[in-house]
Amino acid sequence: MFNTIGIISKPFDPVSEGTATELREFLEDQGIVVVNNSVIIAEQADLIIVVGGDGSILNTARTFVDNNIPILGINLGRLGFLADVSVGQMFDMVSKVLKGEYTKEERCLLCCQVEQDGQIVYQSVALNDIVINRQDALKMIEFDVYIDDKFVNNQRADGLIITTPTGSTAYALSSGGPIMHPGVNAIGLVSICPHTMSHRPLIVPGDSGIIVRIKDNSEGVSIHVDGQTSCPIVPGQEIRVRQHGSFIHLLHPKDYDYFEIIRSKLHWGSKLS
């Protein structure tokens, strides 16, 4: 089913690169064409295997989301939410994938645009979240929130997290947001330390259009995409967020259980020592 496979490793990480080399040799011994150039992956690969962790998958998802190439994550560290195949299981799992024995899961992304006077000055996509905050000072920012062109509220807070269901177990969770199952078609808005305690996390339909307008008294604001890329925002600019038009497809073992991963990562049911 998969004849050309792209392998992506974590740059400058000898463990990741060494594991990727072992995987390349394993695949080539079975007659699979292996590529690692991004342009060739986008044009020719029918599967991407990421050797790293959740951060590597976030970057890969943003890069290749519009190419409709399924992604399998090999996790080199702790149990990941996205990269759920351990190195010890790698050869066995890859062999099963080549035989068609896997579960495929669709995940949505967010599209973010920063506009000024009707012109787009920055745009990106996010698998986890888009965070609006101030990095260089312990001062709140003020902003207005609109959903589908309807005014929602004015907020003074340390920031705002706009999250996908995938990202609901990341920064949004630590800020008091709810866990959303990846199959839910929704977008979450979670305020970071709001000045008014009545500001609670808000879940809106996945096809909603969200606008955040930074007020003139808020300077030094930036947006951060998946915690990996960022862009400074000046007062008067608008941040527009909606669901991206393409999805990514994650491959998992046949016995993949989302709730088992949640239990393990969040230590549900663990006894306190």
Measured CA distances, 85 to 29, 91, 251 (Å): 21, 10, 10
Query: What 3 state SS string does 79-114 have?
Result: CCCCCCEEHHHHHHHHHHHHCCCCEEEEECCEEEEE
Q: 54 an active-site residue?
A: yes
Name the amino acid, one letter, at 255: D
8 Å CB contact between 161 and 172? yes
- Those residues whose C-beta lies under 8 Å from the C-beta of residue 204, and which sit 6 or more positions away, are 147, 186, 187, 188, 189, 210
Measured CA distances, 111 to 126, 186, 237, 238 (Å): 7, 14, 16, 14
Choosing from 54, 84, 129, 226, the catalytic residue is 54
Name the amino acid, one letter, at 271: K
User: Where in the sequence numbering do the catalytic residues fall?
Assistant: 54
